[in-house]
Amino acid sequence: MRLADLTWQEAERRLTPDAVIVVPIGAASKEHGPHLPLQNDFLLAEYLAGRVLDVPKVVVAPTVPFHYYPAFVEYPGSVSLRLETARDLVVDICTSLARYGPRRFYALNTGVSTLRALAPAARALAEGGVLLRYTDIVAALGPVVGQIAEQEGGTHADEIETSAMLYIAPDAVDMSKAMKDYHPGTGPLTRDPNGAGTYSPTGAWGDPTLATREKGQLVVEALVAALRREIEGVRRAPLP
């Protein structure tokens, strides 16, 4: 059940103490190289949210389109909230909905830097007896990525992420513009070859030219299975 589709009277019947509220997080304005749209993560979050709607006693909140993405701010169109703002945004969403009964929340998280804001959000909510868990997408996909990845390295708009989009939203991918862009480094991506961070003139980090729909199916289905397991774990977990 999607919360946004309900009236408040219907929401009152759904927002019960035994419900798990899923809060999808997916950037609607974050660069993903020349071959993927700024709303790449939003599309992914919306798709994944749809795949967990049939989990019993789950209510899916509207997707959060802005969060903490400091690694991409050199690329026009990319939006990043301050860490404290991103933390408080999730705390406020969960606190608002918890007043009606639910005490268990799962952030369906499609980012990596977002973890730095979700961890303190979970701690803050725990002080009020509210449980928040969240997706660590790198950990969730580690096994399948290790089996299928051919690229030299990378984690952004790369072989794996592009493959996933070819599976769930192929019309959003322009493979004619995909190009390998992998320069080993640490820190945020930068368009300046002499800048601090990881050099990436395209905004991608990896080799999206190796992406295929078949790889994407393996990645996405593994992620969906992990999400379902983690949501069930939230349902069974004791409250803080």
pLDDT tens, position by position, 17-47: 999 999 999 999 999 999 999 999 999 999 9
pLDDT tens, position by position, 77-125: 999 999 999 999 999 999 999 999 999 999 999 999 999 999 999 999 9
Q: Residue 3's pLDDT is what?
A: 98
3-236 topology per CATH: Rossmann fold (3.40.50)
- In the chain, domain spans: 3-236
Name the DSSP letter for residue 41.
Answer: H
- Residue 163's pLDDT band, with cuts at 50, 70 and 90, is very high
- Residue 170's pLDDT band, with cuts at 50, 70 and 90, is very high
Locus of tokens 């169109």 = 77
Phi-psi region of 146 (alpha: psi -120 to 50; beta: other; left: phi over 0): alpha
Q: What's the CA gap between 16 and 214, in Å, rounded?
A: 40
